[in-house]
Amino acid sequence: MQPTLSKVSPRPFREGLASSQLLRSIALPILRRIDRRMTITNPFSGLPFHLLSYTHKGYWFYGKHRETETMRRLAQLIRRSDTVFEVGGHIGYLTQFFARQVSHTGQIHVFEPGQQNQHFLRKNIARCMQCVHINAAVTDYTGKATFYEENMGGFMNSLEADFASSSDIARTQRSKLEVQARKVNTITLDAYARAHNVWPAVLKIDVEGAELAVLRGGFQVLQAARSVMIEVSRDHEAVFDMLRDCGFNLTQPDGTPITAAAQMDGNVFATRAG
């Protein structure tokens, strides 16, 4: 009799590979040397997605199993014809997904100042006519600021000077981490919304430590928004208080209620009752 093999779900299998120090020590140096441009199909948009094979490996390696709970929750919250502000667009993975969710009658305004990031972002949203790219960092004032860009894929680019160097990735790959500082334009969400008379139903914020400044510069936008997804990495108490004061209920991606600032870790969803 032939043995029966139980089917292992893809996510644990991928996580097992990613957590294997032996496999990582063999595969990662090879991938790093052949970091080439490639195109995959974004499983959440069905569109071609341009990226680098090593630098952006998390996108193709995990595919549709990347941040499953977060993606499921976003799909529930974003409706056809919605306007979405995406603060921190990286290379457009979520931007494509947002564009699909709102359809051609909605709008996506994506803020991304990173030089390498926006090169890929513009390619990845070229087919999304409902997407507008704003080459500026969002904070609590309009003008200029120093923006810190790292060489590990742009995932930790920040207005906070020490963010990349204090990250978990930096602790494991400090010898490879390089951070360059350059001046970028800044804008507040309220100033942008007033100038263009456009107010989002959904707001996504992923700005690597500068999230409180984004909220401070977007008080009117917060009043108009129906839902917010925010990655919280610093200023937990102040972010918690501001979102609650604006009338939001806070939850984890899986819907677990957040009733204290200490419970906020990573992606947090803020929604209004009803």
pLDDT tens digit sequence for 173-218: 656 889 999 999 999 999 999 999 999 999 999 999 999 999 999 9
Give domain limits for the chain. 25-271
How far is residue 80's CA from residue 78's CA, in Å, rounded to a whole number? 7
pLDDT tens digit sequence for 52-103: 999 999 899 888 988 999 999 999 999 999 999 999 999 999 999 999 999 9
Give pLDDT, residue 165.
Answer: 85
- Containing 189, the helix (H) or strand (E) segment is helix 189-196
16, amino acid identity: G
Longest Cα–Cα distance of the chain, Å, equals 73
Give this prediction's pTM: 0.89
pLDDT tens digit sequence for 117-162: 999 999 999 999 999 999 999 999 999 999 999 998 999 999 999 9
- Give me the phi and psi of 105, to 5 degrees please: -90, -5
Name the CATH superfamily housing domain 25-271: Vaccinia Virus protein VP39 (3.40.50.150)
Say if residue 24's pLDDT is above 80: no
